[in-house]
Amino acid sequence: MGSSDNRKKGKFFYDSVVLQVEDTLHRIPRYHLETWSQIFKDMFELPQVENADGSSDECPIILPGCTNDEFESLLTVLFTPGAVPLTLSKDQWISVLKLATMWDMAQFRELAIEKLSSLNLTSIQKVQMGKTHRVASWIIEGYTAFLRDAQPIPLDDLGASLGWETAARILWAAKKLKTERLVVIIRTVSRRDWLDDEDKNSTAQPLLKCSMCSHSVDSIQVDLSALKGPGLDSISATVREVFAEELKMAY
């Protein structure tokens, strides 16, 4: 049998890495991490020395900023074949979203957002999680729902859940939309406009007369669409204006 020095590494010969999260060790192929995360890829490309971090159980790479349960939720997604359905809980998907955002794993971040969006999150949950994990669509959807709701969430509940500054901004946005809604468009739609002096002797009786200038008009029409409340586009624009600073941090 030939010397082991003559053996070649096959296409699927993966280097492993030892990671420690809290008090738990994990030995996994580096490939999965460096393929999906530029952060891990850059880490593994650093010059290696003897007994480098990650090379053994005695010298693991310690991962701060997450719990072991959160990390194992991410590993479940990383190591589950695409043809196998994922059956993670809501909390597990939140863990995946957290770590995928932290380690710049765009594909798994999008997957977690998609899965969580299908769970009918409340408006408060969308805003809370959108701010925590920088999900712009949830922030906009959550605030938009607050402003469209015919039965608003009580102020104390908003303050307790989102903070009083956020609650104040929601109220300010609602007032802004209400003010815009009260600007009713009125226009003349009859066959006659304001009557000239010579027309005042006409036998036709105007329907309305201005008490200020004595000019008369046959009829007026109110644009009822202005009374129906602001449309979705108007609300979304207001949300983007009022919560611009929050949205700068999200994507």
pLDDT of residue 149: 84
Q: Phi, psi at residue 118, to the nearest 5°?
A: -80, -5
Q: Which helix (H) or strand (E) holds 231?
A: none
Amino acid at 81: P
pLDDT of residue 13: 85
Mind listing the pLDDT tens digit for each residue in 89-101? 999 999 999 999 9
pLDDT of residue 187: 40
**Predicted structure pTM score:** 0.77
Widest distance between CA atoms in the chain: 122
pLDDT of residue 190: 40
Mind listing the pLDDT tens digit for each residue in 162-171? 999 999 999 9
Positions in the chain short of pLDDT 70: 1-4, 181-229
User: Which residues contact residue 69 at a Cβ distance below 8 angstroms, ignoring those fewer than 6 apart?
Assistant: 95
Across the chain, what does the average pLDDT equal?
Answer: 84
